Amino acid sequence: MRKYYLILLLFFFSINQSSASIKSGILNKLNLIENISFNFEQNINDKIEKGKCVLQYPKKIFCKYNLNNKKILVSNGKSLVIKTISSYYIYPLKETPLELILDKKYLIDIISKSKNYHVDENFVAFKFFKNESEVNIFFDKKTLNLMGWQTVDLYQNLNIVFLSSMSFNQKIKKKTFVLPQSD
């Protein structure tokens, strides 16, 4: 009987060690990333939009959507602009859940402190809350790359973003993150 307890204990210890090494690997990989270029698929309340983004830490992003309205999303680290042919919206970045995703130091801190996270056969998920925002962030279990996130936006819409075709630490023009003007 003692033998079975020992086997069971070793089994649980190996699961915890494996999860801990995955978490440690994600943190190490995040530390090395300055920027990420990627394709995305965004699902907001079952409306699918696709495009390409460049994310530069800390808190900068430029996304160009594959839409006829020429939609772009830009953050310069302080403000977030969403612009189309016919509309222009500007928000303080700190009032959006995207601020948390674009803040590498915050992500590293919250992931390193996280004791409860989900490890699946394909991904690792972390859930955290800040200023009434819930963010779920997903990493690929094999590559440990960021693979997407889920948030609730300013209008209480469920927003799920999946990343693909990523490249890391590319040279980026500084003017990429200049906020566009309204027409």
Q: Where in the chain are the domains?
A: 22-172
Give tens-digit pLDDT for 96-140.
899 999 999 999 999 999 987 888 889 999 998 877 778 999 999
Taking residues 69-84, report their average pLDDT.
96
The contacts of residue 20 (CB under 8 Å, 6+ apart) are: none
Contacts of 25 (CB under 8 A, 6+ apart): 144
What kind of fold does domain 22-172 have according to CATH?
outer membrane lipoprotein receptor (LolB), chain A (2.50.20)
Q: How far is CA 78 from CA 58, 96, 98, in A?
A: 10, 11, 11
Q: What is the pLDDT of residues 133-161, one digit of tens each?
A: 789 999 999 999 999 999 986 678 889 99
- CA angle centred on 158, ends 155 and 161, rounded to 5°: 120
Residue 182 backbone dihedrals phi, psi, to 5 degrees: -75, 150
| Contact status, residue 76 vs residue 82, Cβ threshold 8 Å | no
Token representation of residue 94? 């700190």
